Every structure is written in structure tokens, then in C-alpha cells.
């Protein structure tokens, strides 16, 4: 039976009374608490009704009763991390087959997300706003799908969905393999975090207030944990609270980063603090404790029942029914940059790590994914307020509101400030670039019952250049003005959406003079032919009285001659019917595209087996290219078998194809593991490669897929134990320089979050030796070291075996499952057995890290880019540079061993830092 909660406002009243009782009893004063909630009603019910709570280990009790009774379970809903949690872990980008689509969105919100539905009710052409919501939310979850894991696990426990819907033999969620159908549901459920009725239900407060609220609610919740500054957010499913000692609580949680592992968040009610020892931005790296106190507001929750009653935030009917003042604009960002939004009501933004919010009714939605340490938060602002947005360091910016929606994608995440002005009432935007880039712009405007989705591809912008897009001043037509940008190679797409059908206008012939403009009479367009264009060539704001004709280029011809094929298909595919899609797909066969490029274009299109087989037959690709195409499609195993059967390949060709697909799967597994580690430390990549028995050919193909620079490839090759023959083969195939061979005395293995530079050309400061191996650029890596001293707890950078993305992870080395002996808060690791070698008046150190030697080169007088050499006797061990902001140059050399006359030599004072003779490990 589905459980229906009583309306949450009553819970708020109860919570306030509980806090008051505690204060009157001489306990701690009422805890600060912010809670905004809406009534939670199951669909199909006319009003909230009250039912019994789910079974608990013990009857729910108030915090006051528990304090008197002592330790014990306060409440625990029926949930076990195994089997009720998933058997695979949280994931980020790299799984396009798992992005949710219009099918999942329609299942959530109904037919209001469709601009048109075909006669049999199966085909749903999305509204422009629905498609932007899909694109925005999938982009938001590129850093992790933890919220979707939490919400979907809850739906399983409520009986809203069944495991057998995704795997016929699955008895529980833990049995479900990570494949597209369940991943799309996870993504769709995660997207609800940005729905207003959900984020308005968030409970924020100090740790005491959170414990009180959880006890009062007695339900499973989406528990948010953040690092200080409300960054590094992660979602946990909290299913109970236990008081393990007077005023010491455990919030029992399922952490989707650690499948099958029971965990808890510790709350010290007396101290008003909380801590989670198992948190890690990268689950396979050492856990960085999450913790907070009464001032941080870093422990929050949303009742999971709020996700069950979420309504469409952009559907016309839902928007029209909203009370006056409830309409809002949602700003979303992809990247780790700075944003400042200015309005007549005040400012909101994140600048230099500080949050600013001066706007009444505005608020932040902090990103949660656990794979991004400092993503820019989304922002909620009152609708119809003009905005001026300055930003830098971002890849994507979007705004979704009642009157106007826009996306600027594929931005260059540079330090220069871009500026975006939005006037919702006038349905217009003005974008000004802060540097050289070629972003994609999408703007949706509505006129009467018609929506126009305007897309510009291929425009080139330099610093200070921009473009204005929006409705014409008279409210009819589309106006574009050029702010000195390079628009000669621009592709303009206009998608017209009505409940009667779709029409697409496409051209590469749009010409707008610098500082000039054009008005396109989209209202008078017949849906197939040319558009009337009125030009303002001199930029005075006056447009010609007589129009020119702007030709509508057939998509087939446009694709044949365009450098933006993928962008065109990606932007138009959701709005094309089957006939239009077929004509575009056949055109791809005539272009010089690789199998991988074709597959990446086709992957989001949800093609049938019949369509795929027909296209593959037309493309007539060689087996390796066919393998790239099929792998890019990310087909489920059963579907792949079906397609191969219909292709009727020879036994030899199918064997070769399956071997190619197996290799591609291996490469992608390694690549995704590397991405998931969330580090630039190439030593960890080397560790990943060392675990695999890769041939020279496999290693060559893999390195070509990792987007590494030539210098980084050189460092990876130097770190692998390759034979000379294999090294030569790989270098020749990749077309890179032979990496410099380090001296046989220590090889660089790791260092703690610093920049290490190994140069192929070494010019010694001392002037005694010059080694020129090749003109290869410097190799830079951010690395970590085993056994870091206390204060920077970093054990082995890659503990244990990292499970493959498609498999069930092996157990992680964390505390025993709850209940049982409760571990005390995690302490830092033991110090190195060797203390720093005395270097009077110097900050640099040489210490033993177990058997290894670790050298930290840092002196206050050494500026950025100071070259530092490490010498032992007459032998140069390594040279490097001081990093930005004075970051030290750190190197670790494998032991055991003895280093005699060890010293640093630099170009500036102190020019010599002596360490003497060091033996590692330290002798007793």
C-alpha cells in the first residue's frame, strides 16, 4: 500500500513545539531551523490523508523521550543497503545512454511536456521548454547521479516501481545491472531536485535542528551533506536515527558511492556538530571527512515524499495555475566558475568562493553529485525581472522561465568575464563574449500559441563582441543584431512548434553587418519556403521597408556542406518526425565521418533496430569502423545480438567485430575509471594501466582516447614498464616524441597535490651539465604520495581494485556495517617514520615515507616558476619548478636506499639547500 503523509505544515508546528518544550525544560535553546514545505499528496488523491507510519525497529519517540531513555534506535524505516540499494555505484558523465529523454519526462509530468502528440498517442514532440529542461538537467548531473540513486531507491521501497521492470530475474534493486533503462529512470528522478515544490521542501539548520526534524518526521529523507562553503555536495538516503549514547546520534544512511556498505552520519547534539567519515569526492581515493557545526548549514534534508508530488515546473497549465508571485526563472551553470547576477532588486551570485544574495525570494540550489568539488550553484530568481549576468570559467549557462528560455553552450571556460543581459518581458538576450570562442546559442520565444526555438551554430566571438537575439519591438518577428562578431560562417536554425506540427528553417546565408541587424518575419512564414528579411545595415535602428528573401536550405543539403553536422542533428533531432529523421540519417552516409562520429550522432536518437540495420547497410563501413559505430550507440547486450543477427555478417567478420567491441569496452572502462578518480594525477592513471595486461596496440588506441597532451603521454609512457620495442611502436603510432628516460636512481612515483615538471631539456643551474633529449614540452602532473604526513591524510592513491563500471564493485575497506561496535571519529594517519632532515633556516624538507624518500622544495624567496634541481652527490635526480601561488615542488623517490650529499639547487637565494645523507627507511 502506498503511504500518504500528513501535510508537512503540521510537522513544522510540531517541531516548533518540541523545540519550545526542550527550552522550557532547561535544555539547550531552540535550534535554528529553516523549513519550507508543501503538502505531499499522492497522485489521484484529492487531499492529503493520514496513514500509519512504516514499521519501525522501535516506536518513534521524541528527542526529549530518547534523552530520558538513553541509547537506542529512535526510528528506522524498512530499508537495507543490500538488497534495497543498488549493486552499482554512483557515476557521472560518460554514459550518454543513461541520459533521460522525453519518454521519461512524459511519464513523470504527463502530456503537458509535448508540443504535439501523434494520432496513436505514442510520438511526443517535446515543447522547447521540455527539451531544454531535459538538456539542462542531464548537464547538471554530469558530475554525479547521487540524487537519482536516492530517489529511485525510495521508489522501490514504496512499491512505485519493481525490480523486474528492469531485469526479469531481479528480486531486489541490488540485482539490477547498470544498463540504459534503469539509468534513465535514475536520471529522471534526480532531475526532480530542481522542481520548485521539491527544493522548497528542504530543511536546513544546525545539527541539533536536523536531528529534531528527522525524529519528528520519522520518514526516509534525501540527506544532503556538503563541505564547508556548501560545495562538494552529496546525496544520501537516510532511513533512520539512533541515539548511541546520551546526545550522540547516528543518522543511518545508504551511500550510493559505496554499494552494499552500511554507513552513518555522526551528530554530537551537545556540541552541535556533525561528521561523516566515509565521504569522498572520489570514492576510490582516501575519504575526506565531511563535517560541520552550528554555523555551516552543511547538513540538510528533503523529505523523499516531496519527490512523489513534484509537478511540472515549465508546463503551460502548471505555470498558469501557479499563484501570483510564485513564477520564477531558474539559472543553471556547468563548470566551476564565478557568477554575479545583477537586477533592480539586488544581486545574487558566487564570487571568489563567497555567496551573495540580496534579492528577496531568490535562493541557491547547491549542486550535489559527489564528483565535483566546487560546481557553481543554480539560482532561483523572481520571474520577469531583467538580469545582467557576468560570469567566467563556465562551459554552459542556461535560463528557464515563463516568457523566455535560453542556453549558451560550448563556452570556453576561461578567466575572462562574459556578460549576458536577459529581458524576459521583451523576450530578448544580449551576449557579449570575454574572449575568443564559438559557443552554441539557443533562445526560445513565444508569440501567440507558437514557440520559436532559435539556434545559432558556428559564430565566432572575440573579446567585446556579441549578439542580440529576441522578439522584434512590435512583438512580431525575430530580431538579431550583430555586435561586431564574426557571423559569416554561422548556421541559423529556427524550429517552429505548434500543436498542429513542426517546421524547420535552416540557412548558412545569414549576413548581418557589424553593428547592424535584421528582422525575420517568422509570423508570416509558410513553414517551407523562404523568410522575409528586413535589414538595418548601418546600425541606426531603422529597417528597410522592403524585405529581402532569405532562402530555406534543405537539411539534406545543409548537412552535406556543413562543418557543424553533429550540432545540427543534436539540436533538431528531438523535433523531427520519422520521415525527417530518415532523410537526415541517410545524408550521413555521404559525409566523410568516422564510425565513431556517426555513432555519437545517432546515439541520442533512439533509433529502432530496423532503422539501425538499414543505415549500417548503407554506410558499408569496414569492421573496425563498424565496431566504433556500434560501441558509440551503447546498445544493451541483447539488442546488440539482435542487430548483429540482422546484419548477417560472416563468421570471420563477426568474430573480428566482437573482439573490437571488447577492446572498446575495455578502453572505455579505463577511461571512465580515470575520469571518476577526479584528479589530474597521472601516477593514478599509470596505476590503472599497470593493473591491465594491455598489448602495445591496445595501449596505443587507449592513449589516443584520453585527450592527453603529448607531454602527458610522455609522462605516462615513462611511468610504465615497457620494453624498448613496445615503446618505439607506441611512440611511432601516436606520432609523439620519445619520452626522456629518467636517470636509473629514483623514478618519480608520486607527490602531494603539486605540480611536478620533468623537462626533456635540462639546463643545470650549476652549469656543469646539459642534457638535450628532445624539444618535447614540459610534462606536468598533479600527484599524490603514499603515506602522507598527518594533516594531509592521503594513503595509497589507488587503494584496492577499482571495479569496472559495468560490474558490481568489490567491497571497500571501510568500517564494519552498522549495527556493531561504533568506530570513533577517523583520526589522521600516523606520521612518517622519518622526521624532516634538519635544514636550519630553510623550509624545504627531505623525509622518509616508509621505504621511500620524499622531498618538498619550498622557500619563501623562490617565486613562481623558479627552477629547482634535486642532486645526490654528482648525480642530478630531477628538476622541477615552483608552481603558481608558490606551490611547492614535491617529488618522491622509491626506496629503500641511501642518498648521499642530497641537496637542492635553485637559481635564486637560497641557491643551495643541503640535506646531507639520508637512508630510508629510517634505521632503528
Whether residues 233 and 379 share a domain: the answer is no
Whether residues 192 and 140 share a domain: the answer is yes
Point out which residues pair with 902 in neighbouring strands: 872, 916
Please report, for residues 109, 151, 196, 343, 728, the alpha-carbon distance to residue 37 in angstroms, rounded to integers and kept in the order given.
Answer: 20, 18, 10, 27, 65
What span, in angstroms and rounded, lies between the C-alpha atoms of 284 and 681? 14
pLDDT tens column, 103-148 = 999 999 999 999 999 878 888 999 999 999 999 999 999 889 999 9
Whether residues 654 and 722 share a domain: the answer is no
Whether residues 583 and 558 share a domain: the answer is no
**Residues 116 and 502: beta-carbon distance below 8 Å:** yes
How many alpha carbons fall within 13 Å on the CB side of residue 740? Answer: 23
Residue 48 has pLDDT above 60, yes or no: no
Number of domains in the chain: 5
What was the pLDDT predicted at 889?
85
Whether 660 is covered by a domain: the verdict is: yes
Point out which residues pair with 253 in neighbouring strands: 238, 263
Helix, strand or coil, per DSSP, at residue 745:
coil
What was the pLDDT predicted at 353?
84
CATH code at 900?
A: 2.60.40
Whether residues 448 and 558 share a domain: the answer is yes
What span, in angstroms and rounded, lies between the C-alpha atoms of 205 and 212? 10
Q: Crossing angle of helices 724-734/696-703, nearest 10°?
A: 40
What span, in angstroms and rounded, lies between the C-alpha atoms of 856 and 700? 34
pLDDT tens column, 505-546 = 999 999 898 889 999 999 999 999 999 999 998 888 899 999
Please report, for residues 76, 277, 374, 892, the alpha-carbon distance to residue 787 in angstroms, rounded to integers and kept in the order given.
Answer: 39, 18, 26, 11
Domain's final residue, options 279, 313, 347 = 313
**Residues 568 and 562: beta-carbon distance below 8 Å:** yes
Please report, for residues 142, 388, 460, 816, the alpha-carbon distance to residue 334 in angstroms, rounded to integers and kept in the order given.
Answer: 9, 18, 21, 37
Whether 772 is covered by a domain: the verdict is: no
What span, in angstroms and rounded, lies between the C-alpha atoms of 320 and 402? 9
Q: SS3 helix, strand, coil % of the chain, rounded to 5?
A: 30, 25, 45
Whether 609 is covered by a domain: the verdict is: yes
| Phi–psi pair at 768, nearest 5 degrees | -95, -15
Residue 567 has pLDDT above 70, yes or no: yes
Domain's final residue, options 665, 689, 711 = 665
Query: How many Å from the N-terminal Cα to the C-terminal Cα in the chain?
Result: 68
Whether 764 is covered by a domain: the verdict is: no
Please report, for residues 255, 389, 571, the alpha-carbon distance to residue 263 in angstroms, rounded to integers and kept in the order given.
Answer: 7, 41, 43
| Phi–psi pair at 121, nearest 5 degrees | 80, 5
pLDDT tens column, 644-685 = 999 999 999 999 999 999 999 999 989 888 877 777 789 889
Paired sense of beta strands 273-276 and 262-268, if any: antiparallel
Tell me the residue range of the domain where 857 lies. Answer: 845-920
Whether 751 is covered by a domain: the verdict is: no
| Phi–psi pair at 410, nearest 5 degrees | 60, 40
Provide the whole-model pTM: 0.71
What span, in angstroms and rounded, lies between the C-alpha atoms of 339 and 348? 8
What span, in angstroms and rounded, lies between the C-alpha atoms of 477 and 450? 12
Residue 178: pLDDT band by 50, 70, 90 thresholds? very high
Whether residues 582 and 445 share a domain: the answer is no
Whether residues 273 and 218 share a domain: the answer is yes
Residue 744 has pLDDT above 90, yes or no: no
Residue found under cell 508540443: 115
pLDDT tens column, 217-238 = 999 999 999 998 898 899 999 9
Our measurement of the distance from residue 843's CA atom to the centroid of its chain's CA atoms, rounded to an integer in Å, reads 38
What span, in angstroms and rounded, lies between the C-alpha atoms of 693 and 702? 13
Whether residues 656 and 691 share a domain: the answer is no
What span, in angstroms and rounded, lies between the C-alpha atoms of 424 and 383? 8
What was the pLDDT predicted at 813?
31
What was the pLDDT predicted at 324?
53
Q: What is the mean pLDDT of residues 809-818?
A: 32
Our measurement of the distance from residue 147's CA atom to the centroid of its chain's CA atoms, rounded to an integer in Å, reads 12
Note the residue count of the chain: 924
Residue 793 has pLDDT above 50, yes or no: no
Whether 8 is covered by a domain: the verdict is: no
Whether 838 is covered by a domain: the verdict is: no
Whether 796 is covered by a domain: the verdict is: no
13: left (phi over 0), alpha (psi -120 to 50) or beta: alpha
What span, in angstroms and rounded, lies between the C-alpha atoms of 596 and 146? 29
What span, in angstroms and rounded, lies between the C-alpha atoms of 570 and 588? 13
Q: Which of 40-49, 673-682, 748-757 has the lowest mean pLDDT?
A: 40-49
pLDDT tens column, 838-881 = 344 688 988 887 778 889 889 888 888 888 999 898 888 888 88
Whether residues 489 and 632 share a domain: the answer is no
Whether residues 302 and 208 share a domain: the answer is yes
Domain's final residue, options 564, 598, 632 = 564
Taking the CA atoms of residue 831, residue 250, residue 145 and residue 336 in that order, the dihedral angle to the nearest 10 degrees is -50
Helix, strand or coil, per DSSP, at residue 314:
coil
Whether residues 113 and 158 share a domain: the answer is yes
Whether residues 224 and 354 share a domain: the answer is no
Amino acid at each position: 500500500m502506498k503511504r500518504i503523509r500528513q501535510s508537512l505544515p503540521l510537522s513544522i508546528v510540531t517541531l516548533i513545539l518540541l523545540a519550545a518544550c526542550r527550552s522550557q525544560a532547561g535544555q539547550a535553546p531552540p535550534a535554528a531551523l529553516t523549513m519550507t514545505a508543501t503538502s505531499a499528496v499522492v497522485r489521484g488523491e484529492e487531499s492529503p490523508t493520514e496513514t500509519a507510519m512504516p514499521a519501525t525497529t522501535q516506536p518513534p519517540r521524541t528527542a526529549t523521550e530518547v534523552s530520558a531513555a538513553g541509547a537506542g534506535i529512535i526510528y528506522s524505516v524498512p530499508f537495507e543497503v543490500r538488497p534495497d540499494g543498488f549493486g552499482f555505484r554512483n557515476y557521472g558523465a560518460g554514459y550518454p545512454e543513461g541520459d533521460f529523454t522525453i519518454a521519461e519526462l512524459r511519464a513523470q509530468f504527463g502530456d503537458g511536456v509535448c508540443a504535439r502528440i501523434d494520432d496513436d498517442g505514442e510520438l511526443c514532440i517535446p515543447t522547447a521548454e521540455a527539451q531544454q529542461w531535459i538538456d539542462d538537467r542531464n548537464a547538471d548531473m554530469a558530475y554525479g547521479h547521487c540524487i537519482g540513486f536516492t530517489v529511485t531507491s525510495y521508489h522501490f521501497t514504496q512499491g512505485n516501481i519493481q525490480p523486474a521492470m528492469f531485469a526479469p530475474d531481479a528480486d531486489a534493486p541490488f540485482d539490477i545491472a547498470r544498463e540504459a533503462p534503469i539509468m534513465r529512470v535514475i536520471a529522471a528522478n534526480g532531475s526532480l531536485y530542481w522542481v520548485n515544490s521539491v527544493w522548497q521542501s528542504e530543511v536546513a539548520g544546525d545539527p541539533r535542528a536536523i536531528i529534531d526534524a528527522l525524529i519528528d518526521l520519522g520518514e526516509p529523507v534525501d540527506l544532503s551533506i556538503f563541505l564547508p562553503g556548501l560545495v562538494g555536495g552529496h546525496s544520501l538516503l537516510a532511513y533512520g536515527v539512533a541515539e548511541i549514547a546520551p546526545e550522540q546520534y547516528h543518522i543511518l544512511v545508504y551511500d550510493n558511492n559505496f554499494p552494499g556498505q552500511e554507513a552513518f552520519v555522526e551528530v554530537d547534539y551537545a556540541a552541535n556538530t556533525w561528521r561523516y567519515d566515509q565521504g569522498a569526492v572520489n570514492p576510490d581515493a582516501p575519504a575526506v571527512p565531511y563535517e560541520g557545526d552550528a554555523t555551516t548549514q552543511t547538513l540538510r534534508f528533503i523529505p523523499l515524499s516531496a519527490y512523489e508530488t513534484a509537478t511540472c515546473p515549465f508546463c503551460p497549465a502548471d505555470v498558469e495555475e501557479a499563484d501570483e508571485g510564485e513564477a520564477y526563472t531558474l539559472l543553471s551553470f556547468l563548470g566551476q566558475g564565478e557568477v554575479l547576477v545583477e537586477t533592480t532588486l539586488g544581486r545574487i551570485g558566487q564570487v571568489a568562493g563567497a555567496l551573495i544574495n540580496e534579492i528577496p525570494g531568490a535562493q541557491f540550489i547547491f549542486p550535489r553529485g559527489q564528483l565535483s568539488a566546487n560546481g557553481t550553484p543554480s539560482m532561483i530568481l523572481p520571474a520577469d525581472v531583467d538580469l545582467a549576468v557576468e560570469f567566467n570559467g563556465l562551459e554552459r549557462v542556461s535560463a528557464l522561465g515563463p516568457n523566455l528560455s535560453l542556453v549558451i553552450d560550448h563556452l570556453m571556460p576561461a578567466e575572462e568575464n562574459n556578460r549576458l543581459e536577459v529581458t524576459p518581458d521583451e523576450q530578448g538576450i544580449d551576449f557579449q563574449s570575454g574572449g575568443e570562442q564559438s559557443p552554441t546559442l539557443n533562445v526560445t520565444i513565444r508569440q501567440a500559441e507558437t514557440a520559436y526555438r532559435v539556434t545559432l551554430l558556428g559564430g565566432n566571438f572575440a573579446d567585446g563582441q556579441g549578439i542580440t537575439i529576441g522578439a522584434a519591438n512590435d512583438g512580431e518577428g525575430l530580431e538579431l543584431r550583430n555586435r561586431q562578431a564574426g557571423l559569416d560562417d554561422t548556421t541559423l536554425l529556427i524550429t517552429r512548434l505548434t500543436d498542429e506540427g513542426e517546421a524547420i528553417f535552416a540557412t548558412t546565408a545569414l549576413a548581418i553587418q557589424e553593428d547592424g541587424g535584421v528582422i525575420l518575419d517568422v509570423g508570416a512564414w509558410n513553414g517551407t519556403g523562404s523568410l522575409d528579411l528586413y535589414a538595418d545595415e548601418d546600425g541606426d535602428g531603422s529597417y528597410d521597408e522592403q524585405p529581402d528573401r532569405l532562402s530555406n536550405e534543405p537539411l539534406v543539403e545543409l548537412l552535406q556542406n556543413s562543418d557543424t553536422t553533429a550540432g545540427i542533428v543534436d539540436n533538431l533531432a528531438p523535433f523531427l518526425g520519422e520521415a525527417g529523421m530518415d532523410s537526415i540519417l541517410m545524408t550521413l552516409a555521404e559525409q566523410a565521418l568516422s564510425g565513431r562520429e556517426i555513432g555519437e550522432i545517432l546515439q541520442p536518437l533512439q533509433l529502432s533496430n530496423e532503422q539501425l540495420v538499414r543505415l549500417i547497410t548503407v554506410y558499408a563501413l569496414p569492421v573496425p569502423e563498424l565496431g566504433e559505430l556500434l560501441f558509440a550507440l551503447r546498445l544493451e547486450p541483447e539488442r546488440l545480438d539482435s542487430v548483429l543477427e540482422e546484419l548477417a555478417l560472416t563468421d570471420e567478420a563477426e568474430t573480428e567485430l566482437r573482439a573490437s567491441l571488447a577492446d572498446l569496452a575495455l578502453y572505455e572502462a579505463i577511461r571512465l575509471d580515470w575520469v571518476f578518480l577526479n584528479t589530474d594525477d597521472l601516477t593514478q592513471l599509470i596505476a590503472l594501466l599497470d593493473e591491465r595486461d594491455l598489448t602495445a596496440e591496445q595501449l596505443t588506441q587507449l592513449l589516443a582516447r584520453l585527450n592527453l597532451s603529448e607531454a602527458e603521454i610522455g609522462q605516462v609512457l615513462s611511468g610504465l614498464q615497457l620494453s624498448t620495442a613496445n615503446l618505439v611502436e607506441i611512440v611511432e603510432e601516436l606520432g609523439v616524441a620519445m619520452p626522456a628516460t629518467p636517470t636509473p636512481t629514483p623514478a618519480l612515483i608520486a607527490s602531494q597535490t603539486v605540480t611536478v615538471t620533468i623537462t626533456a631539456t635540462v639546463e643545470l643551474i650549476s652549469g656543469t651539465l646539459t642534457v638535450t633529449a628532445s624539444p618535447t614540452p614540459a610534462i606536468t602532473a598533479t600527484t599524490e604520495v603514499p603515506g602522507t604526513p598527518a594533516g594531509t591524510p592521503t594513503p595509497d592513491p589507488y587503494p584496492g581494485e577499482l571495479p569496472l563500471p559495468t560490474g558490481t564493485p568489490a567491497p571497500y575497506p571501510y568500517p564494519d556495517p552498522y549495527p556493531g561496535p561504533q568506530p570513533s571519529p577517523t583520526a589522521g594517519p600516523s606520521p612518517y617514520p622519518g622526521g624532516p632532515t634538519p635544514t636550519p633556516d630553510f623550509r624545504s624538507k627531505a623525509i622518509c615515507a616508509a621505504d621511500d624518500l620524499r622531498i618538498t622544495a619550498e622557500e619563501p624567496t623562490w617565486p613562481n616558476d623558479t627552477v629547482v634541481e634535486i642532486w645526490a652527490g654528482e648525480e642530478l635526480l630531477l628538476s622541477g619548478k615552483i608552481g603558481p601561488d608558490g606551490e611547492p615542488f614535491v617529488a618522491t623517490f622509491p626506496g629503500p636506499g641511501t642518498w648521499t650529499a642530497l641537496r637542492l639547487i635553485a637559481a635564486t637565494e637560497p641557491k643551495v639547500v643541503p640535506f646531507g645523507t639520508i637512508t630510508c627507511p629510517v634505521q632503528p
